[in-house]
Amino acid sequence: MQRSFLAQNPSVLWFIAILAVFTVVVTLMSEVTGVGLISTSFVKTLGKTLCLCLVAIAMDVVWGYCGILSLGHFAFFGIGGYAIGMWLMYARTEGIVMTSLAGQPIPPTPAEISDAIGNQIFGVVGSSEFPMIWAFADSLALQLLMVVLVPGLLALVFGWLAFRSRVTGVYLSILTQAMTLALALYLFQNDSGLRGNNGLSGLQNIPGYQDVSQATVSIIFFIASALALAAGYVFFAWIVSGKMGSVVKGIRDNEARVRFLGYHVESYKLFIFTTTAVVAGIAGALYYPQAGIINPGEIAPIASIYLAVWVAIGGRGRLYGAVIGAAFVSLLSSWFTGGGAPNIDLGFYVIQWTDWWLVLLGFSFVAVTLFFPKGIGGLFDYLVRKPS
């Protein structure tokens, strides 16, 4: 079975091989091995890009294969980040508080410990009480479970309601966008208990491993992200290649016809929607410890639209297209906005890319949609001369 799946999908093997080589090369050239050709901050950027590729694959499956243009997958990504961020913050603060309380003449009561941690975490946002949602923050296992459960459940409930009501097409897109906006607005409130606009920060310091250098931490997360991407790729490639994949693609092309054939379309859509949400959550949980901070701005509807943009530019309906799109656009983006691109002097006016990059991106995006609906991935078809 396994062999035949891979045999059907040579691209999976290719992808894994390239990713493995890439990971090994980056690791060898990083500061950890002493070579130092790739700086720690660039390793972090690469690690984050791998996570973005993972969520892009999920987006590709839900949109490119199943035809649901979800503008909510970056919200699931963010939820994953928040879930792991809560533990990171709690555990690190607990460490600090315990050290500081250890010097006291009498041992602290549980209430005193919890008050002190609360004051440290929420003091900056003018509060010191622990909200209900932090109930499990002291347990890594439970918070890891939340990384999977919260996006999964949210997607399940939302998807069940939406698909049951036969909300499709652009309506569903708008609805998912509304969900994302509601979530972002909710998190923006200080009363949400997740530190409002400030969000959770200092996430790059892993509790218990504060003495380990960031160079090592960044490489570990980079490798973990690469593994997660590989696993996610194989998993989704397996899903979309079997019989299930055929049904899903059928739903994309003509939902009514698939329904008349006797398939329970809603269940398939719900399964895809929920699974991809869970993967998005996992990607987020890997991404934010590398970014160091998560806040509601990350979840804003525009982020989810960008996700769709990446997938579209990379090429929908092919998993490697999503990876290429996410990596290409996000790295290009940081190159342009980071002042890496040389300014163009027109004599009477200097084009500064920090100002003009978004204009370029916007219009090139229009061009891709109009003229290259298959995206960059479409070039591969051309290269291998596989007419579609």
Partner 1 sequence: MKFKTSALALTALLGTTAMAAAECADPIKVGVLHSLSGTMAISETTLKDTMELLIENQNAAGGLLDCEIEAVVVDPASDWPLFAEKARELLTVSEVDVIFGSWTSVSRKSALPVLEELNGLMFYPVQYEGEESSRNVFYTGAAPNQQAIPATDYFLEELGVEKFALLGTDYVYPRTTNNILEAYLQDNGIPAEDIFVNYTPFGHSDWATIVADVVALGADGKQVGVISTINGDANIGFYKELAAAGISADDIPVVAFSVGEEELSGLDTSDLVGHLAAWNYFQSAESDLNDEWVTAWKAKMGEDRVTNDPMEAHYIGFNMWVNAVTEVGTTDVDAVREAMYGQEFPNLTGGTAVMLPNHHLAKPVLIGEIAADGQFDIISQTEEVPGDAWTDFLPESAVLTSDWETLGCGMYNTETETCVQLTSNY
Partner 2 sequence: MLRLLYLALALWFTMPVAAAAQSLQDILQTHQDEVLSPGRRSVGVVLDDLVASGLPQALPFLESWRDREIVQRDSDGLFFRVTEDGDTVTLQDLDTGDTLTASEDDLTESRPNGGVRRAIGDALVQFQLSDPDIAKRKAAVEAIARSMDASQLGPLAASIDDEPDAELKETKTRLVGMLGALFAETTDARVSAIEALSGDLSVDVRAVLNRILSNSEAVAASVPEDANIARMLVVGEDLTATDAYTRLVEAELAPALITKLQIREALVANIDGDAVSGVPVATLNTDAARALAYDLLAADGTVPPRVDETTQTEAVAAHRFFVQYAETDPAITDAARAALDNIERNVALNQSVDLGLDALSLASIYFLAAIGLAITFGVMGVINMAHGEFIMMGAYTGFVVQQFVPDYTLSIIIALPLAFAITFGAGVLMERAVIRHLYHRPLETLLATFGISIALQQLAKNIFGTQARPLTSPEWLDGALVFNDVVAISYIRVAIFVLALVFLCIILFILKRTRLGLEVRAVTQNPGMAASMGINTDRINMLTFGLGSGIAGIAGVAIGLYAQVTSEMGASYIVQSFMTVVVGGVGNVWGTLAGASLIGFLQKGIEWLNPSNTLAAQTYMILFIILFIQFRPKGIVALKGRAAAD
Indicate which of partner 1, partner 2, none lies near residue 21 (CB less than 5 to 8 Å, by partner kind): none
- Asked if 359 interacts with partner 2 (CB under 8 A), we say yes
- Asked if 302 interacts with partner 2 (CB under 8 A), we say yes
Query: Min. distance of Cβ 126 from partner 1 in angstroms?
Result: 4
Question: In the numeric block, which tokens belong to residue 311?
Answer: 């997938």
Quote the distance between the C-alpha of residue 44 and its chain's center.
Answer: 15
The residues, any chain, with a CB within 8 Å of residue 361's CB and separated by 6 or more, are: 329, 333
81: nearest Cα among 58, 51, 61: 51
Indicate which of partner 2, partner 1, none lies near residue 11 (CB less than 5 to 8 Å, by partner kind): none
- Asked if 189 interacts with partner 2 (CB under 8 A), we say yes
* Distance separating alpha carbons of residues 35 and 383, to the nearest angstrom: 36
- Asked if 98 interacts with partner 2 (CB under 8 A), we say no
Secondary structure (DSSP) of 37-65: SB-HHHHHHHHHHHHHHHHHHHHIIIIII
- Asked if 169 interacts with partner 1 (CB under 8 A), we say no
Beta strands 293-294 and 200-201: pairing type?
antiparallel
Indicate which of partner 1, partner 2, none lies near residue 369 (CB less than 5 to 8 Å, by partner kind): partner 2
Max Cα–Cα distance, the chain, nearest Å: 78
Give, as ranges, the residues between 52 and 81 that touch partner 2 (CB under 8 A).
69
Crossing angle of helices 40-59 and 73-102, in 10° steps, is 140
Q: Which stretch binds partner 1 (CB under 8 A): 2-10, 147-155, 229-237, 342-350?
A: 342-350
- Asked if 165 interacts with partner 1 (CB under 8 A), we say no
Q: Are 211 and 202 in contact (CB under 8 A)?
A: no
- Asked if 196 interacts with partner 1 (CB under 8 A), we say yes
Element (H, E) at 181: helix 169-188
Query: Min. distance of Cβ 116 from partner 1 in angstroms?
Result: 9
- Asked if 111 interacts with partner 2 (CB under 8 A), we say yes
* Distance separating alpha carbons of residues 111 and 165, to the nearest angstrom: 47
Chosen residue from 171, 209, 260, 382 binding partner 2 by CB under 8 A: 171
Alpha carbon separation from 315 to 18, 24, 57, 304 (Å, rounded)? 19, 27, 11, 17
State the residues that interact with partner 2 by CB under 8 A. Answer: 69, 105-111, 158, 161-162, 164-171, 173-175, 177-179, 181-182, 185-186, 188-189, 191, 301-302, 305, 308-309, 312, 355-356, 358-366, 369-370, 373
State the residues that interact with partner 1 by CB under 8 A. Answer: 39-41, 44-45, 93, 96, 99-100, 103-104, 119-121, 123-128, 185, 188-190, 195-199, 201-202, 204-205, 214, 291-295, 297-298, 337-339, 348-350, 352, 354-355
